[in-house]
Structure 1
Amino acid sequence: MGRRNGTAFIDFTLLGFFPEFRHTTVIVSIILLIFTAAFTCNTLLILLIWLDSRLHTPMYFLLSQLSLMDLILTSSIVPKMAANFFSRWQSISFLACGIQIFFSLTVAIAECILITLMCFDRYVAICNPLGYSVIINRRVCLQMATMSWAGGALTSLGHTAFTLHFQICSPREIPHFFCEVMAVLRIVCEDISAYEKAVVVTSILVLLLPLSLILSSYAVILLAVFRMNSPEGRNKALTTCSSHLCVVGLYFGPGICIYMRPGAAKTQTLNQGLFIFGTVLTPLLNPLAYSLRNKEVLNALRKLMGKCQSFR
């Protein structure tokens, strides 16, 4: 116990990513460019939804929450990673590591819940359009957002506290570019087989169960879409559904590969590449998937740009 108390709050060392790659500066520079674009796109989308009254609908409210989660996810990881790389100071404090684990897990799990609930929103909008305004009202939207954030925070709090309570082996070097749960567990000195099983169970609940619900819902949705008599209504429904399915693929694909692949802990290089995709590229692609193919968002953007030009 004395050894645990004496070493519990010592800093960790983040080893970074792709140590065998010679041109890491190029990768970091590209990541920073993508991060800047993702930060700008998500902030702009939230601003458009907030300012334009035509976007004050349940779907866009949930989309604004998704953009907020993407902002928090990428902002909790990329700035610290870039600062460590350019300063050559790879350490991270015990508290900062815990905060990074908590926020990254909270947002990742909250996104999973929210994306599943967004599928329910599309199901009601297409399969029961007359009752949509009654079923998906403002109160229900707030409950969806609260459920997503609360579910993510509570699950993350348990995993963060449990991960950091283990005895860490010296030299406390984390083989990753940020404090990620499975990477931290690799430097634990204790038997964590029971906890690793708990992580697998959580992955099934957080990834496979929602994905099964989403795919089942979309099977019903697509049947309803193809039965529509109006070509315009069918095309609009397919556009919205395809955008959401893109987001589903961007989120669940890397998550399943990281946490549910046999021997995933041994292939650290591939995991780091998947994490870069999930924490940097996905937050950029999510708003683009909805905005570039959505006339309402593009019209709101033109309106905002026109106001800015008039103000000048």
Structure 2
Amino acid sequence: MPQNNSVTEFVLLGLTQDPLRQKLVVFIFLVFYGGTIVGNTLIIVTITFSPTLGSPMYFFLFYLSLSDSCFSTTMAPRLIVDSFSAKKVISYNECMIQVFALHFFGSLEIFVLIFMAADRYVAICKPLRYPTIMRRQVCLILIVFAWIGSFVHGTTQIILLLRLPFCGPNLIDHYCCDLQPLMKLACMDTYMVNLLFVCNSGALCSFSFIVLMISYIVILRSLRNHSAEGRKKALSTCTSHIIVAVLLFGPCIFIYTRPPTTLPIDKMVAVFYTIGTPFLNPLVYTLRNAEVKNAMRRLWYIKTMTE
């Protein structure tokens, strides 16, 4: 339970106080959130019903799309609804739940991206052992580990937050509840708490990004021994994964690996990785992946023929 806490609700200042800009925010976020849900749902349905997308890569892509949809849903709907309200109020408990959901689904996405990189490494660097190493049971164990690891990460964040006393003011200069804006309101010195947050969220983002980049460097170096067609296909897949990793980890590292200060640009950076990245991921994985596009066409063709 929170210690010496007299605050029962927080007031979110949102992205802007200008009425005209708020209407623009509603439109932009409706488009981005709608595109995120539609795009990721199409990927999930395609992978679920297409017999040609049964490889481990698409097994992990299924969970990446699922985590993207949930990650965006923790933020976008409330931001859109709050844009119509003069006073954007969120209760203390709702705020804590939002922080947990943000970090739970965010870390789930990070774990899945790491497993996708491992899958590509085995497929490209150890092709003969690929069916043995990346068998179905191993993939299931990895996904269970991702859910457990994400739960532990999210729970750790909440435990640290619940120990912070909030005695006023209760104005959060952000459009959602997150670590840095909340620590700024705490009625205590948060240096050590922020250090723990950096060791948790910051280290998770930084270490994962380094591991991913090293793995893709190794993969790209190994492509020299492949045929021209094999290099082209592997390079296309790896490029997609690298784009997604940079789009996600760049903003996260900027937010969670620095001292407990808030900057004016923080809101836009947060918008990018909470709303923008989940919207872009389906485009990256479909427009650059011929197998997914072909599977979608076949499913659409079957649907139209049966009607």
Q: Same fold (TM over 0.5)?
A: yes
Match status 1:242 vs 2:254: no
SS in structure 1 of the partner of residue 174 of structure 2: coil
Does the 8 Å CA contact 2:56/2:136 hold for their aligned counterparts? yes
Match of 1:232 in 2: 229
Aligned counterpart, 2:268: 273
Matching of residue 145 in structure 1 with residue 143 in structure 2: yes
The percent identity for this pair of structures is 34
Give ranges in structure 1 of 5+ residues lacking alignment.
none
Deviation digits for residues 241-296 of structure 1 (CA, Å, limit 9, x no counterpart): 101111111111111121225x67231x2111011111111001111111111111
Amino acid at match of 1:282: T
Q: Is the 8 A contact 1:264 1:271 kept in 2?
A: no
Q: 1:114 to 1:280 in 2, by over 3 A?
A: same
Q: Give how far 1:227 is off.
A: 1.9
Kindly state the Cα deviation for residue 22 of structure 1 after the two structures are TM-superposed: 5.4
Q: CA deviation digits over 1:98-133, x for unaligned, max 9? A: 111111011111212221221111100000011101
How big is each residue's C-alpha offset from its partner over 1:29-69, in whole Å with a ceiling of 9 and x where there is no partner?
11111110011000110010001011111000101111111
Match of 1:302, as an amino acid?
R
Check the 8 A contact 2:46/2:295 in 1, yes or no: yes
* Residue 306 of structure 1: aligned partner: 301
Distance 2:201 2:151 in 1: 15
Please point out which of 26, 44, 47 is paired with 1:46.
44
> What is the SS of the residue equivalent to 1:86?
coil
* Corresponding residue of 1:68: 66
Aligned to 1:4: 4
Counterpart contact for 1:76–1:100, Cα < 8 Å? yes
Corresponding residue for 2:76? 78
- Distance in 1, matches of 2:255 and 2:236, equals 29
Equivalent AA in structure 1 for residue 235 of structure 2:
L
TM-score w.r.t. the length of structure 2 is: 0.94
Q: CA deviation at 1:24?
A: 2.6
Question: Matched residue pairs, number?
Answer: 307
Instruction: Please give the alpha-carbon distance, in whole angstroms, between the structure 1 residues aligned to 2:223 and 2:2.
Output: 64
Give the 3 Å change call, closer, same or farther, for CA 303–163 of structure 1 in structure 2: same
**Residue 204 of structure 2, aligned match among 203, 206, 209:** 206
Query: Does the 8 Å CA contact 1:13/1:174 hold for their aligned counterparts?
Result: yes
Measured in 1, the distance between the counterparts of 2:2 and 2:214 equals 53
Does 2:96 match 1:101?
no
**SS, match of residue 187 in structure 2:** coil
1:34–1:125 CA distance, 2 compared to 1 (3 A)? same
> Is 292-301 or 82-91 further displaced after alignment?
82-91
1:72-122 deviation digits (Å, cap 9, x = unpaired): 111111111111121334111122111111110111112122212211111
Q: Which amino acid aligns with 1:167?
A: P
Q: CA contact under 8 A between 1:258 and 1:264: conserved in structure 2?
A: no
How far does residue 165 in structure 1 lie from its aligned partner after superposition?
2.9
Report the aligned-residue RMSD. Answer: 1.9
Are residue 135 (structure 1) and residue 130 (structure 2) matched?
A: no
* CA offset digits 1:163-187 (Å, max 9, x no partner): 1331113231111111112111111
1:27 offset after TM fit, Å?
2.2
Give structure 2 stretches of 5+ with no counterpart: none
> How far apart are the structure 1 equivalents of 2:47 and 2:80?
30
SS in 2 for 1:53: coil
Conserved in 1, the CA contact under 8 Å of 2:14 and 2:173? yes
- The answer to whether the Cα contact below 8 Å between 2:184 and 2:260 also exists between their aligned partners in 1 is no
Asked if the contact 1:251/1:282 (under 8 Å) is kept, the reply is: yes
